[in-house]
């Protein structure tokens, strides 16, 4: 039983808000509600069921009719209410069994078609950035800049931002996940933009940093250190390397600049139908043996995004979307990584 919206979309192409699939060795069932009946009949190639009530109850009917005995479900995508409803609707001989996220592992390596879609998304995202930058001036509010970025994404055909666009100015750039506010960009301040677009279902992710005026040495040094770390991270990306080694490559550079304590998140993440997917590019997790660690594979699409954040002063993060290739990697993001300026 597949309930994760991204997994349902991956398997069926359906991108509505309410879909459920039952996969058996020789058959597949897709369940949705009447709002999506037309869309489902036109696009879904397996058996379509339109549920009047909760999808799980329709699933229970199919399970009983087909005499399925053991149902694997996605624990991260099944809530207690739904689980209880299913248990009540099914005879006691049917076993509900949580399964490991194997579809997420399958999704980590992208097909050529998916890679093409991600390229489109990355290019549209960078174009929205370039168009917006022509209009960014001191005096604009964070929210106004975020609105312009998202407006340009939509003008370029993207269905939505892939996540809440981050625009932060001044000392607020030290907050890695700042929500855009009414704060205005002033002269001699940092501006950090972290943005992604969803285009034809596929996401992109990029962070760039600008300075309104001539950057002082402290800003230039911070920027250079993070850029060096980002390039070291990119340089490490190749098939068969453990994710913690890629993270370590970026982290060690920041350590050499005494900035490792200021690097408070992981180096990157997979992306695709969702903005955060397997693999996470971070430190070796406690309890995970080195030999069991996830290794990069050709066809994975990940971000490399080290950052350093100094409270009360500001922060820098530089992020590209990257394709793992047979020999190393291809940086998909076309936007320049020079410390940008604002007129």
Binding stretches for Zn ion (CB under 5 A): 194, 205, 303, 319
| Residue whose CB is less far from Zn ion, 215 or 307 | 307
CA nearest to 228, candidates 201, 250, 200: 250
Residue 45 CB coordination number (10 Å): 9
| Residue whose CB is less far from Zn ion, 104 or 194 | 194
Least spacing, CB of residue 266 vs Zn ion, in Å: 10
DSSP secondary structure letter of residue 25:
T
Helices (H), 44-92: 55-66, 80-89
Least spacing, CB of residue 30 vs Zn ion, in Å: 31
Residue 256 φ/ψ, nearest 5 degrees: -65, -20
The tokens for 11 are 């398997």
Query: Could you tell me if 205 and 126 are in contact, meaning their C-beta atoms sit under 8 angstroms apart?
Result: no
| Residue whose CB is less far from Zn ion, 12 or 303 | 303
Least spacing, CB of residue 343 vs Zn ion, in Å: 25
| Residue whose CB is less far from Zn ion, 86 or 178 | 178
| Residue whose CB is less far from Zn ion, 189 or 194 | 194
| Residue whose CB is less far from Zn ion, 12 or 267 | 267
32 forms beta bridges with 19, 50
Alpha-carbon Rg for the chain in angstroms: 23
Least spacing, CB of residue 296 vs Zn ion, in Å: 16
Least spacing, CB of residue 305 vs Zn ion, in Å: 5
Residue 120 CB coordination number (10 Å): 17
Distance of alpha carbon 315 from alpha carbon 331, whole angstroms: 23
| Residue whose CB is less far from Zn ion, 114 or 305 | 305
The tokens for 119 are 């390229």
The tokens for 10 are 């991956």
Least spacing, CB of residue 269 vs Zn ion, in Å: 6
| Residue whose CB is less far from Zn ion, 59 or 195 | 195
CA nearest to 177, candidates 309, 275, 335: 309
Which helix (H) or strand (E) covers residue 195, if one does? strand 190-195
Least spacing, CB of residue 209 vs Zn ion, in Å: 12
Least spacing, CB of residue 272 vs Zn ion, in Å: 13
| Residue whose CB is less far from Zn ion, 57 or 331 | 331
User: Is 79 exposed, middle or buried, given 0-12, 13-18 or 19+ CB atoms closer than 10 A?
Assistant: exposed
The tokens for 333 are 């993001």
> Residues with Cβ < 8 Å from 40, sequence gap 6 or more?
14, 16, 30, 32, 48, 50
Least spacing, CB of residue 128 vs Zn ion, in Å: 14
């Amino acid at each position: 039983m597949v309930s994760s919206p991204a997994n349902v979309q991956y398997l069926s192409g359906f991108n509505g808000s309410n879909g459920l699939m039952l996969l058996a060795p020789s058959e597949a069932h897709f369940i949705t509600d009447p709002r999506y009946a037309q869309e489902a009949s036109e696009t879904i190639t397996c058996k379509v069921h339109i549920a009047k009530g909760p999808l799980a109850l329709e699933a229970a009917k199919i399970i009983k009719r087909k005499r399925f005995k053991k149902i694997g479900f996605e624990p991260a995508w099944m809530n207690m209410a739904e689980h209880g409803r299913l248990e009540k609707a099914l005879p006691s001989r049917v076993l509900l069994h949580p399964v490991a996220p194997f579809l997420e592992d399958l999704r980590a390596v992208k097909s050529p078609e998916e890679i093409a879609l991600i390229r489109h998304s990355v290019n549209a995202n960078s174009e929205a950035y370039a168009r917006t930058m022509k209009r960014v001036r001191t005096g604009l509010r964070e929210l106004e800049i975020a609105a312009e970025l998202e407006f340009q994404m939509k003008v370029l055909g993207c269905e939505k931002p892939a996540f809440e666009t981050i625009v932060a100015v001044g000392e607020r750039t030290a907050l890695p996940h700042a929500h855009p506010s009414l704060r205005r960009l002033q002269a001699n301040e940092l501006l950090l933009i972290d943005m992604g677009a969803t285009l034809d279902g596929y996401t992109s992710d990029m962070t760039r940093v600008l300075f309104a005026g001539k950057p002082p040495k402290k800003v230039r040094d911070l920027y250079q250190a993070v850029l060096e770390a980002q390039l070291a991270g990119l340089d490490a990306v190749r098939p068969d390397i453990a994710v913690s080694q890629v993270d370590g490559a970026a982290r060690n550079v920041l350590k050499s600049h005494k900035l490792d304590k200021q690097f408070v998140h992981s180096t990157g993440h997979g992306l695709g139908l969702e903005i955060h997917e397997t693999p996470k590019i971070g430190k070796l997790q406690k309890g995970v043996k080195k030999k069991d660690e996830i290794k990069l594979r050709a066809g994975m699409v990940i971000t490399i995004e080290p950052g350093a954040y100094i409270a009360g002063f500001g922060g820098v993060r530089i992020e590209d979307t990257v394709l793992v290739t047979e020999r190393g990697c291809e940086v998909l993001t076309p936007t320049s990584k020079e410390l940008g300026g604002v007129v």
